[in-house]
Every structure is written in structure tokens, then in C-alpha cells.
Amino acid sequence: MPSDNKIEASINEAPAPRAADKILDVARDLFYREGIRAIGVDEIVRRAGVTKPSLYRSFPSKDELAASYLRKYDLEFWERFDEAVDAHPGNPRAQIIAFLTRVGKRTQKPDYRGCGMTNAAVEYPEHGHPARVVSETNKVELRRRLREMAAAMGASDSDTLGDGLLLLIEGAYISGQLFGLGGPAAAVARNADLLIEASLKK
């Protein structure tokens, strides 16, 4: 057992429930790999070594559990994004390329399953579904940041460039899971670079 942080003990007056964490971990793994609709709550609790009432004590419904999974995914996403940004301060073009290079690499891993957010939105087209709301929020923010970065690059039509980059990214997510190794997603960074180049020369 690793050394526990006193932060959690001191700040959290109520110690975080252990079952909820295990459930969320397992849910994250299964939902991402197999899809949300494909996984039943029974399988989640079984793999987590807990029972169904425990799940419903921590999460009001399966849909909300899915939303929680996506909120966690959202956090990790922005970590990865900001990592690329922080690696190239003041150089938005290098930031984008760094991010996309990593995305392109990840899409070539054999069990790559795309973006959890994107996939959830495909699985739940219904407007207002808890999972979809989280997904949409993430994408809107991503679009905003990409357009912002495109503007910082000095693109004449920065909104178009920002949107173009978003299209390439989403295309890489999907193509990565569709084609697997050797698919078009491997070329996402190169194409983004070409697109940026063309947009700046305009």
C-alpha cells in the first residue's frame, strides 16, 4: 500500500469512499474500451469487486456514472493538451504540432479506441443526455482554444484554421479506431502543418 497523502485526510473531512473510486476506475476502462451502452452495471460492479447498491449509493444512475467517467476523461484530456502547450511557450504553432504528434502516435497503438468524448456523443445522440452534455462542453472549449491559437499564429482567417484543426483532430480520433495501425491518423500532424502553412501565407 503506497504512502497516503495527508492532504486527503486533512482537507476531506469525510474520507473519500473507496468503493466509488474502484467503480469509476473500472467504468472508465470498460466504457472506453467497449462503449457505454455495451457495458451493463452488473459487469462493472463484478469487475470492481463491489455490489450494485454500492454503485447506486455513489452514483444516481448509470447515465450519471457515464458522465462522471467523462468528467474524469475531460480532466486527463486537458492535462495532455496543456502539456503540449507548456512545452512550447508563446509558440502556438509548435504547441499544436506537439499535441497532434502525440495524438498521431497514440492512434497507432493496437487497442486505440478514439476519444471517449467523441464516442459517447455518437452513442448518445439525444440532446441533454448527461454524458453528451459533458462531451459537448469539452468540444466547445476545444474549439475555442484552437481558434484562439490560430489567431495567435496570425492566420488571416483564424476561425477557419481553428475549425480545420478541429476537423483533423476528430478525424484522427475516428480513423485511429477505424483503421488501426498504418491508418490515415498517423498523418495528422503533417497535414496540420501543411494546413497551418497555407493559412498563414494567405
Residue ranges binding a copy of itself (CB under 8 A): 33-35, 37-38, 113-114, 118-119, 121-123, 125, 135-136, 139-140, 143, 159-164, 166-175, 177-179, 184-188, 190-191, 194-195, 197-199, 202
Angle value at C-alpha 14, between 11 and 19, nearest 5 degrees: 115
Q: Which does 19 bind (CB under 5 to 8 A by kind): a copy of itself, DNA, none?
A: DNA
Q: Using DSSP, state whether 103 is helix, strand or coil.
A: helix
31 CA to centre of own chain: 13
Strand stretches in 135-177, DSSP E: none
Contact status: 53 vs DNA (CB under 7 A): yes
Provide, rounded to whole angstroms, the least separation between the CB of residue 191 and DNA. 38
Binds DNA by CB under 7 A, chosen from 1, 2, 3, 5:
5
Residue 125 vs 182, nearer CB to DNA: 125
Contact status: 41 vs DNA (CB under 7 A): yes
The answer for 115, left when phi > 0, alpha when psi is -120 to 50, beta otherwise, is beta
Compute how many other C-beta atoms are within 10 angstroms of the C-beta atom of residue 95: 23
Residue 70 vs 172, nearer CB to a copy of itself: 172
Contact status: 9 vs DNA (CB under 7 A): yes
Buried b (16+ CB within 10 A) or exposed e, 131-162: bbebbbebbeebeebbbebbeebebeebeebb
The site for DNA (CB under 7 A) is made up of: 5, 9, 14-20, 39-43, 49-54, 56-58, 61-63
